[in-house]
């Protein structure tokens, strides 16, 4: 499926800056990713289809490993998980954080070492904890006081489980209210300001079945500045010093979570990972020196920043409709495979692929096929004025929180995921069929 590519036009005329680094243009107006023509992928696997650039995923894992050589880097599986993704992450030397028994068991059955996995969750089910203890998960992050006794009881008198405490450091950061998790008044973690985090630490230290290895925080998602992380780090080190003073316990680990922002459209800001690593390291050394404490091992949890820019969603246009001054371009997917625009108003930069167009661009609104007025994939975007049914539209930066959040709305079936690499394409996750949906319904 490899095809010759053409030279890149002048900068600014056809910006591919948010696409995978392997993306190249074709003479007929198409694009290749990983050496594979996206239009050929659409023909072979039908649409909607999600294309994941294996090389981009691996390179982003290496970027984190190079930037944080002394830290523990954990891929946030909630962004996207499959058996292939598990293998790529493991081979690149990255750990995992998971949020459920489902994510955990998929990772372990795919061969990932359980001791390199961290289990999160604000409301862990009995099955979540049973799976974690049975499989030997590395750490469980305690999110509420009730989990302390539950985990200790599940471990049993002869067992011992490493745990961390999720702390809310009182910091507002992130791209939208619904993904800001560092402030009091939301569902995650234990507050630093009201003393509940310190109280939970005292209770854990009193449980011989639990080994407290450190503190954890996650201040939000889609953060593009370093400063909020430095503020969180200082507050967490301050709490570690208070724990030392109150209990004589020096904690060896500090996990600052993820939430590293990426650009979804050309010109948008993204978090500078190299600058983040350098400034976190300097701040950690300085804060620990001021507190008279040894420097704990740092951990971070990137998800979106690893897989988001590696993904491309490809749709086929079903209808073009002019309503007043608005041109609606309806495609064969929508909020069932990408709920993010409806949930918190994210914006994308879709592009016509598969044919060349000389028509002048026109402002359009790309909408999905679902029976919701809010099923809008991209509002106010420029597409060729001659766009028509049958055309293909590709949406970059589609690797994170799209397929992983996909639903069964309108029973259209979730799309397949294919990997591209070195001019080859292979199916990772097959399309959900109508037969799959019927088999789940056993009533009558």
pLDDT in tens, the chain (444 residues): 444 444 333 333 479 999 999 999 998 889 999 999 999 999 999 999 999 999 999 999 999 999 999 999 999 999 999 999 999 999 999 999 999 999 999 999 999 999 999 999 999 999 999 999 999 999 999 999 999 999 999 998 889 999 999 999 888 655 445 444 545 566 778 988 888 999 999 999 999 999 999 999 999 889 999 999 999 999 999 999 999 999 999 999 999 999 999 999 999 999 999 999 999 999 999 999 999 999 999 999 999 999 999 999 999 999 999 998 899 999 999 999 999 999 988 999 999 999 999 999 999 999 999 999 899 999 999 999 999 999 999 999 999 999 999 999 999 999 999 999 999 999 999 999 999 999 999 987
Q: Which of 178, 61, 189, 174 is nearest to 120 (CA)?
A: 189
Which of 342, 345, 338, 341 minimizes the C-alpha distance to 312? 338
CB-based burial label for 162 (10 Å; 0-12, 13-18, 19+): middle
Residue 60 tokens read as 């982003």
Residues 291, 395: Cα–Cα separation, whole Å: 48
Q: What is the structure's pLDDT at 158?
A: 85
Question: N- to C-terminal Cα distance for the chain?
Answer: 47
For tokens 């402002």, what's the residue? 363
pLDDT value of residue 186: 62
The CA distance from 260 to 308, in Å, is 11
Distance CA 202, CA 28 (A): 66
- Say how far apart CA 309 and CA 323 lie, in whole Å: 33
Which sign, positive or negative, has the C-alpha torsion 267, 271, 272, 273?
negative
- In the chain the domains, ranked by start, together with CATH numbers, are 24-53+311-440 (2.40.37.10), 54-308 (3.20.20.10)
Rounded-to-integer distance, Cα 294 and Cα 269, Å = 35
pTM of the model: 0.93
| Catalytic residue annotation | 371
The pLDDT score that the predictor gives to residue 65 is: 98
Beta strands 326-331 and 311-323, pairing class: antiparallel
Alpha helices by DSSP H, listed for 68-142, are 83-91, 101-109, 126-135
Length, in residues, of the chain: 444
The sign of the torsion formed by the CA atoms of 37, 39, 43, 46 equals positive
DSSP state letter for 353: E
């Amino acid at each position: 499926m490899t095809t010759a590519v053409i030279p890149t036009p002048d900068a600014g005329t056809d910006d591919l800056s948010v696409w995978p680094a392997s993306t190249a243009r074709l003479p007929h107006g198409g694009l290749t990713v990983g050496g594979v023509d996206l239009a050929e992928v659409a023909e072979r696997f039908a649409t909607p289809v999600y294309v994941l650039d294996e090389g981009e995923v691996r390179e982003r894992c290496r970027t984190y490993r190079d930037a944080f050589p002394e830290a523990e880097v954990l891929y946030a599986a909630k962004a996207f998980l499959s058996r292939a993704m598990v293998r790529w992450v493991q081979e690149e030397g990255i750990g995992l954080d998971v949020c459920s028994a489902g994510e955990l068991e998929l990772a372990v059955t795919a061969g990932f070492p359980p001791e390199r996995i961290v289990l999160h969750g604000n409301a862990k089910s009995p099955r979540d904890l049973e799976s974690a203890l049975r499989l030997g998960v590395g750490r469980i992050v305690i999110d509420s006081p009730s989990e302390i006794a539950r985990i200790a009881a599940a471990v049993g008198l002869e067992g011992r489980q490493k745990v961390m405490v999720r702390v809310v450091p009182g910091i507002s950061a992130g791209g939208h209210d619904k993904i800001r998790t560092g402030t009091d008044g939301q569902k995650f973690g234990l507050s630093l300001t009201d003393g509940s985090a310190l109280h939970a630490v005292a209770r854990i230290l009193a449980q011989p079945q639990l080994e407290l290895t450190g503190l954890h925080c996650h201040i939000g998602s889609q953060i593009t500045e370093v400063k909020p992380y430095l503020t969180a780090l200082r507050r967490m080190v301050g709490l570690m010093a208070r724990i030392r003073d109150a209990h004589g316990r020096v904690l060896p680990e500090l996990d600052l979570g993820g939430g590293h922002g990426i650009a979804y459209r050309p010109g948008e800001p993204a978090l500078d990972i190299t600058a983040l690593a350098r400034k976190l390291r300097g701040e950690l050394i300085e804060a620990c020196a001021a507190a008279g404490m040894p420097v704990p091992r740092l951990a971070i949890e990137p998800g979106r920043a690893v897989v988001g820019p590696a993904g491309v969603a490809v749709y086929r246009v079903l209808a073009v409709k002019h309503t007043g001054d608005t041109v609606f371009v309806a495609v064969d997917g929508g909020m069932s495979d990408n709920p993010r625009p409806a949930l918190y108003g994210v914006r994308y930069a879709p592009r016509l692929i598969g044919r060349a167009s000389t028509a002048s661009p026109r402002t359009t609104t790309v909408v999905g096929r679902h029976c919701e007025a809010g099923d809008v994939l991209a509002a106010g975007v420029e597409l060729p004025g001659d766009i028509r049914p049958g055309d293909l539209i590709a949406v970059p930066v589609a690797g994170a929180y799209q397929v992983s959040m996909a639903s069964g709305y309108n029973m259209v079936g979730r799309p397949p995921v294919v990997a591209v690499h070195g001019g080859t394409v292979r199916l990772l996750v097959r399309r959900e069929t109508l037969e799959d949906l019927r088999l789940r319904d056993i009533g009558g």
